[in-house]
Amino acid sequence: MSKTRILTLGLVVFMSIALLAGCGNAATTIRIGHVLAPEHPYHLGLEKFGELVSEKTGGNVKVEVFHSSQLGNERDLIEGLQLGTVEMCVVSTAPLSSFTTQFEVFDLPFIFSETKKTREILDGPIGQGILDTLVNQGIIGLCYFENGFRNITNRVRPITKPEDLKGLKIRTMESPIHMASFRAMGTNPTPMALGELFTALQQGTVDGQENPLAIINTSKFYEVQKYLSITEHFYAPAPLLIGKSFFDRLDADSQKAVKDAAIEARGYERGLLDDMNTRLRDELQKAGMEINIVDKQLFIDAVQSVYAEYEKEIGKELIQQVQDAQK
């Protein structure tokens, strides 16, 4: 055998060994999906999570973040965790009520009144206990990101009291409790996926919608909506979830890194949201929206029937715990 052939064969063997060794040390990839724009605190918080995970695992675990429903809508993402087609996601609580009804307590209208106490509830035994109800569904809840309080926008008229909603088509999330709340306030709720909403507003399929200020801004709803009413009717926690089968396959050090990074990224995401909320009213007004301050008590009175309707399903004791924790 010629020297050239021996050298060539040796090089092939060396490269094969190196390739096999590299495959043995290949980084684990976590794909995280969400439905919002890349400018939203969700996305920026998840990017921070990815940096922290990489740092804490020495690069052995890397994170890829997919925004704007690239991996599907929120229901798709939750089911993907169970099927193993996606490793992690951030979603709103409304679609999780199909998996465990305790999440519906977060969707009751006006059950939360201010951010600080709400965060204490989410991060404490009540919030963690509700996350833990997902384990039997093949999902682990790591913590709560946030979206803030939801407000109503529309293109027809200022909304300052429930009667002003009469006759308007308002897009809501595909959540029975959200729809019941808007029916109680006298309007026609129209459930629709977020990815379809801008076009529906633009074409007049619906007259308005309800979302936190950050989504109104990053989704550019100010381009197709004139009036913004500060109702703060729902609070919008956003659980950060990971598939249990995937999490169980991680080694103990990587599991700890993911958990620790989630808590650190939670603080980062909330900080971004707080910063946005301090300036967004002015920015949305400058973008052409008219800001309407409402008589909130009138709206609170209008939705009391929703509590009676969902008390048995959610659990009277859980509702009372959340209310008492804010006193």
Mapped onto helix, strand or coil, the DSSP state of residue 150 is strand
**Sign of dihedral through CA atoms 281, 237, 323, 209?**
positive
Mean pLDDT in consecutive groups of 10 residues from the start of the chain, 327 residues:
43 39 71 96 98 98 97 96 98 93 96 96 98 98 97 98 97 95 96 94 98 96 98 97 98 98 98 96 97 97 97 97 95
User: What angle do helix axes 125-132 and 115-123 make, rounded to 10 degrees?
Assistant: 50
Q: What pLDDT is attached to residue 15?
A: 40
Strand spans (E) along the chain: 28-33, 61-66, 88-90, 139-154, 169-172, 188-191, 208-212, 227-230, 235-243, 290-293
Q: Is the dihedral of CA 56, 136, 97, 193 positive or negative?
A: positive
Note whether 227 and 157 are within 8 A (CB): yes
End-to-end CA distance of the chain: 87
DSSP string, 241-305: EEEHHHHHHS-HHHHHHHHHHHHHHHHHHHHHHHHHHHHHHHHHHHTTPEEEE--HHHHHHHTHH
Q: How many residues does the chain have?
A: 327
For the chain, the C-alpha Rg in angstroms (whole number) is 23
Q: How confident is the model at residue 25, as a pLDDT?
A: 59
Check residue 26 and give its pLDDT: 83
Q: Which residues pair with 227 in a beta bridge?
A: 154, 290
The SS3 of residue 230 is strand
For residue 270, what are its two tokens?
A: 């909330």
Full set of structural domains in the chain with CATH: 3-324 (3.40.190.170)
Collapse the DSSP code of 125 into the 3-class scheme (helix H, G, I; strand E, B; otherwise coil) and give the result.
helix
2, two tokens: 């010629």
The Cα–Cα gap between 183 and 189 comes to 7
Name the residue with tokens 């060994």.
Answer: 17
Q: Are 230 and 284 in contact (CB under 8 A)?
A: no
State how far the Cα of 52 lies from the Cα of 76, in Å rounded to an integer.
26
